[in-house]
Structure 1
Amino acid sequence: MSLSNATPNVSSSPQPAVETDALIIGAGPAGLFQAFQLGLQGIHAHLIDALPHVGGQCSQLYAHKPIYDVPGIPVCTGLELVQLLEKQIEPMNVPRHLGQQVQTLQAMEDGRWQVSSSAGAVFHARTVFVAAGVGAFVPKALKVAGVELLTAGQLHYHPLQLDMAAGHNVLVYGGDEEAVNAAISCAATAAKTQLMHRRDSFNAEPAQLAQLQQLRESGAIEVLIGQITDIQQESGQLNAVQWMDGEGNEQPLAIKQLLIFQGISPKLGPVTDWGLALERKQLLVDPATLATSAQGIYAIGDIVSYPGKKRLILCAFHEATMAAFAAAEYLQGSKPLLEYTTTSARLHAILGVAH
């Protein structure tokens, strides 16, 4: 069984394989809780996600929107839920491999699975857990002539770190909260910061909009209303962009760093090529174990289908628990004991609970 997508392998030399009991594909709420439940079973896991941060939809689409149906939490935002889940898995020391997509998945002769990513990472996993939601969330690419010629280091999609802005002319392209925050941050270190959006309206919190307005008035940020139409480069090095204003006039804009925030979109991508049983682009699983049609591969969350399936976060948490118990039996050869975090000394040791 193998899969691939169009994302190039950016690694120039092979990386040593990461040996792990479990690899979780998807670091949204379902994937994070899967890591927790596996940790309770003594199964060490790694997380991999196409986004440059954990949280999936909750972080990217619902960061500041309220959620009311998580047990024991009357209300929290998507970002707060992700932060709580991250805190919960701290004792498990779960490595994260972010900003990279799964490229290949191949069965090994010893029963393990070999997984490779777009960043050149290779994993040898005894079990694989697909918690990919509605697919891998990938940034919407800038579709103008010349983009494909740029070398690495000047074009950035949804960057978390903004060190590249220091001392350079920077263009932030987008109109959402991430774009506004990036422009505000770049203004502190960049030689010149410009924020471009197709209209003079930005989707961000009031406090952020007020700060943006202050920086506009002081001249620290210049807001341009228009869109990029062309890239000007020489030997792969970005020199300027051509942009068109609302009246159809085009003009060049000299920049050295281009930060793109055009949103993200879910792409099911290579999941359909994995050879796993599918129903309407969802993975068919056994609801008792969340096992797919391939031994050692489990799936949870919005990506799965079974009779009575509900696409809710709290249902994914239940599925993660069932999958962890099933994987423990698969790996250990016997059913794991049902222990309770209130009384189990073993679980207290894993969680670092002091007595």
Structure 2
Amino acid sequence: MNEPQKAGSSAGESVESTDVAIIGAGPAGLFAMFEAGVIGLNCITIDALDRPGGQCTELYPDKPIYDIPAVPRCTAQELVDRLLEQCEPFGYPIYLGERAETLERAGERWELTTSEGRVINAAAVLIAAGNGAFVPQRVGLPEAERFEGRGLHYAVRQAERFRGRRVLIAGGGDSALDWALALRGIAEQVVLLHRRTAYRAAPATAQAVMAAHEAGQIEIVTGTLDALHESHGVLSGARVKTLQGDRELVFDDLVALFGLVPDLGPLAGWPLRARAGRIPVDTSNYETALPGVFAIGDIALYDNKQKLILSGFHEGSLALRKAYTYARPDKQRTHVHSSYDAALQEKLNAHAHE
């Protein structure tokens, strides 16, 4: 598969044409990419996040998953890595860091524009956006916004960025605790701030943090941010409210890892009859109120809906069979088994032996 591209890598005013535009590179969207290849459709995938995986890799990359058929156990990151590997023989592009903005009719097809100015002309659109684009839950202080990029971070992209610095990590989930452990040997000082003594992380991770605290590698503070301080235009510290009273903390960087919150963004304004952030579909093919526009995965709404990765796989498979009629209206699609189609087998086997 083509290397996933970050926003702006090839965006512009030119129009990219494809059979199917997939919105969302989580497990459901990635498996839909593979299924598109199996039945002979081209596709382009976009995702607002800066890496594939959607909710799986953003919220619980190391958590085990047990309900994927024939895979007794794998982590969420391992599942996403395997799905990406499965898609590789088809070479379909994934454009990352790009949010779907507008959707308009272009004759019998659809024209999708992204936040980076990319224009995709597609016969069908498959929305696999989960609960929408995930955005960081921000520090709820009025002065916080002006410190973004000047000492306040909502993600750790490069651990080396914090070498030799004093770091305050705020949060009590897996991500906060994992980074507290990872940075203890890089940063000069690591302080973990959480509003209570119980954590929302895996028990083994919480135990490792406590062991690091006892070894003097991580300081733990129980409390909440009350005010941020600056020095020479950059963030330099904070006042924290604890049960024992106010406390002043001095640091070079604040990494706020309060989790991600779903945001449908522009999709909420599309005429899809969305209800409570979910899109009603016809369960015979997962088509929405717009012909040629489909919704699968957590964002799809129908009676007895089960929010399972397995359900998203099934929904994508059926949606693409109907999408085929929009992409190839003059061609009769024959039923394809991956084990019986000689041309498909040759492509998949050739890639497997590279």
TM-score range, shorter chain: 0.7 to 0.9
**How many correspondences in the alignment?**
342
1:116 corresponds to which residue?
114
**How far apart, in 1, do the equivalents of 2:119 and 2:180 lie?**
37
Change (3 A) 1:300 1:179: same
**How far apart, in 2, do the equivalents of 1:321 and 1:177 lie?**
33
> Which secondary structure state, in structure 2, belongs to the residue aligned with residue 133 of structure 1?
coil
Q: How do 1:274-285 and structure 2 match up within 5 A?
A: 274-278=270-274, 281-285=277-281
Which whole-Å deviations, capped at 9, do the CAs of 1:307-327 have from their partners, x for residues lacking one? 665443323212111222222
Change (3 A) 1:302 1:199: closer
Q: Which amino acid aligns with 1:275?
A: P
Change (3 A) 1:15 1:56: closer
Change (3 A) 1:20 1:142: farther
Judge conservation of contact 1:151–1:237 (CA < 8 Å) in 2: no
2:257 corresponds to which residue?
261
1:196 corresponds to which residue?
193
Judge conservation of contact 2:159–2:186 (CA < 8 Å) in 1: no
Identity %: 35
Judge conservation of contact 1:140–1:265 (CA < 8 Å) in 2: yes
**How far apart, in 1, do the equivalents of 2:190 and 2:208 lie?**
14
Change (3 A) 1:245 1:93: farther
Q: Which amino acid aligns with 2:290?
A: A
After TM superposition, the score normalised by the length of structure 2 is 0.81
Judge conservation of contact 1:282–1:303 (CA < 8 Å) in 2: yes
Judge conservation of contact 2:100–2:112 (CA < 8 Å) in 1: no
1:162 corresponds to which residue?
159
Q: 1:232 aligns with which of 229, 233, 236?
A: 229
Which whole-Å deviations, capped at 9, do the CAs of 1:147-194 have from their partners, x for residues lacking one? 111242632223343332123221111111111111122122223222
1:43 corresponds to which residue?
41
Judge conservation of contact 1:149–1:236 (CA < 8 Å) in 2: no
1:8 corresponds to which residue?
none
Q: Which amino acid aligns with 2:111?
A: W
1:328 corresponds to which residue?
324
Change (3 A) 1:254 1:67: closer
Judge conservation of contact 1:20–1:44 (CA < 8 Å) in 2: no
1:90 corresponds to which residue?
88
**How far apart, in 1, do the equivalents of 2:348 and 2:149 lie?**
41
Judge conservation of contact 2:191–2:221 (CA < 8 Å) in 1: yes
2:29 corresponds to which residue?
31
> Which secondary structure state, in structure 1, belongs to the residue aligned with residue 142 of structure 2?
coil
Q: How do 1:4-15 and structure 2 match up within 5 A?
A: 15=11
Judge conservation of contact 2:150–2:234 (CA < 8 Å) in 1: no
Judge conservation of contact 2:169–2:256 (CA < 8 Å) in 1: yes
Following TM superposition, by how much is the alpha carbon of 1:207 offset from its aligned partner in structure 2, in angstroms? 4.3
Judge conservation of contact 1:328–1:335 (CA < 8 Å) in 2: no
Change (3 A) 1:222 1:279: closer
Q: 2:285 aligns with which of 280, 283, 289?
A: 289
Change (3 A) 1:170 1:75: closer
- Between 1:154-163 and 1:180-189, the stretch displaced more is 154-163
- Between 1:100-109 and 1:191-200, the stretch displaced more is 100-109
Judge conservation of contact 1:105–1:116 (CA < 8 Å) in 2: no
**How far apart, in 1, do the equivalents of 2:95 and 2:9 lie?**
18
Following TM superposition, by how much is the alpha carbon of 1:63 offset from its aligned partner in structure 2, in angstroms? 5.1
Q: How do 1:242-261 and structure 2 match up within 5 A?
A: 242-251=239-248, 253-261=249-257
Q: Which amino acid aligns with 1:146?
A: E
Change (3 A) 1:259 1:93: farther
Judge conservation of contact 2:50–2:96 (CA < 8 Å) in 1: yes
Q: Which amino acid aligns with 2:47?
A: D
> Which secondary structure state, in structure 1, belongs to the residue aligned with residue 345 of structure 2?
helix
